[in-house]
Structure 1
Amino acid sequence: MNIRNSTYNFQNVTNGAEAELLRLQEQAQMGWAKEFRTLKQFGLEDGMKVLEAGAGPGFVTDLLLEHLPHSEITALDIDDALLDEARSRLSRFPQSRLKFSHASVYETGLPDNYYDFVVARLIFLHLHNPLQAALELQRVLKPGGKLVIIDVDDGVFGAVTPEMEALPGILRKLAQQQAARGGNRHIGRSLPRLLSDSGYADVDMEAALQHSDLHGMEGFKRQFDINRFSGFYKKGIITEQEYEDINTSYTAFDRSPDAHAMMLFFMACGTKTV
């Protein structure tokens, strides 16, 4: 697979590389405590061999290394520029603890039956063939190993106060545009079925809720960065009126002393049986 087989391409982000890295960093860190708690509930333990599929610039990798001090972590990504960013950021960790793999989630090139646990965070929504990816990750897991997919569903993404009235319509258009390119921004609701269809057993699902009163407002503001929406307008995905409406709504949200927001991340787990 090359980068075009995914709907995410860091080189083409509309808000600029620096802002996108800050957005990804906030996105990884603000809900980590709850996500890690749920990962442990699903069976993640220190000392395991862990694969992070779609590691990107390494923000979650860093957290895994910090919280699993005796584990070997492999960070896999198809984008070598993002992996270079991760290598630079995580250079303090020895090779015995951290390995990098520049490969596709469809064809990782990693050994059979090697990993105890795989974490795939916010990658499956971008994949053209999620079933193939789930099967490949199953191949590299040991029997009894776990795959946890952490992803979104824009149909139940969360809530924002003051309400952004244009946002639901814009999210529908973004989901339609991503579906046309092969992705799925509603994949959260399909994760249990995806795991079952891939042959995983003991499928379970939880939700990790991020709230600005608990995790801070900065991360939410980066998710609604108006520069991201300007790119969608320039590409013709949203109309000029929709862009003006979301800009007005974001300004009110940004300035309101009563502003708050929440987002849902869905976490589905399956076990390799053979």
Structure 2
Amino acid sequence: MTDVTKPRGSYQVTTIAGSAEREIERLSAQVDLFWPDESRHYLANGLRDGISMVELGSGPGFTTERILNLLPEIRITAVEIDPLLVKVADDRLSPPFGDRLDIVEGSITDTGLPSDTYDFALTRLVLEHLPDPVAAVREVARILKPGGRAVFVDNDFEMHLMTSPHIPALSELYGAYCRSRADQGGNPTIGRELPGILRSGGLSAVTFTVVSAHSDIVGSKSFLGSEGVGIPTKLVRDGYLSSKALGEIARSWRELMRDDKHAILRQMYLSAGEK
């Protein structure tokens, strides 16, 4: 593993939710929530067995693990800047997948990896936290082979979780989250900007689509862990969200779950491009 010190943008696993352990559990649930639809889009954009892949901002390795299990001959280089998450991923994944996995501690804007190396690159929920996402795309393009394809997945928190019956207070929660991340140099509505960012970063043949999860398909319980209470609670502590609003969200959520006809929808945005 290489060791680098770089700015980490608006995401820090030890502080974003007040507990690294709770946040890692939330990240796992989030991968579970989207995987049925997400994996289909990856395969449609060039992910296949036997290739060389790089994942930038791989975190605890939950998506990495899914892909290694899905494709038994793929080789993955997983790049993660946070040493805690590198250790978590290494402890979890190196014993079963060590011969097909290389975990590197490094920055997406300066990976130190050789140019023209990888057939496929994945960057999931990373660009929204960076002060210069175009620089990250340029670095991803550099390490791709000519003709290789890169996929970027991100949020747009003005079009985040939607419910029926509608919970108006969720808009206040997501507004508070957007302000907090923007104050730390992130862009929590970057999802809508992805195609332009990919083109500015040097990629061509750019596409754009929506990755979604619906409670009638994946079950309502799948949403509970992926949202969690750690981030909203910290927004209250940091002064971005009122405790009254958080209480209203909790009350409305309980009522929602008691409604037999309720529905929950969450979306992420996926843009892909070619070198």
Question: Aligned pair in 2 of structure 1 residues 23, 256: CA closer, same or farther (>3 Å)?
Answer: farther
Runs ≥4 residues deviating over 4 A: 1-4
In 2, Cα distance between equivalents of 1:264 and 1:91: 31
Matched, 1:164 2:164: no
TM-score by length of 1: 0.93
- Match of 2:96, SS? coil
- Counterpart for residue 225 of structure 1: 228
Letter in 2 for 1:28: V
Counterpart selection for 2:114 from 111, 115, 119? 111
- Counterpart for residue 65 of structure 1: 68
- Counterpart for residue 104 of structure 2: 101
Question: Aligned pair in 2 of structure 1 residues 2, 260: CA closer, same or farther (>3 Å)?
Answer: farther
- Match of 2:213, SS? strand
- Match of 1:10, SS? coil
Residue 243 of structure 1: how far off its partner (Å): 2.2
> Is the contact between residue 221 and residue 254 of structure 1 (CA under 8 Å) also seen in structure 2?
no
> Is the contact between residue 124 and residue 154 of structure 2 (CA under 8 Å) also seen in structure 1?
yes
In 2, Cα distance between equivalents of 1:108 and 1:64: 21
Matches within 5 A, 1:47-196: 47-196=50-199
Matched, 1:244 2:262: no
Query: Tell me, which stretches of 5 or more residues in structure 2 are unaligned?
Result: none
In 1, Cα distance between equivalents of 2:35 and 2:228: 21
Deviation per CA, 1:137-190, whole angstroms, max 9, x where unpaired? 111101111110011111222411332211112212211221121111111100
Residue 234 of structure 1: how far off its partner (Å): 0.9
In 2, Cα distance between equivalents of 1:114 and 1:137: 10
Matched, 1:42 2:45: yes
Give the alignment's Cα RMSD to 1 decimal.
1.7
How many residue pairs are counted as aligned between the two chains? 272
* 215-224 vs 50-59, greater mean Cα deviation: 215-224
Query: Tell me, which stretches of 5 or more residues in structure 1 are unaligned?
Result: none
Residue 122 of structure 1: how far off its partner (Å): 0.8
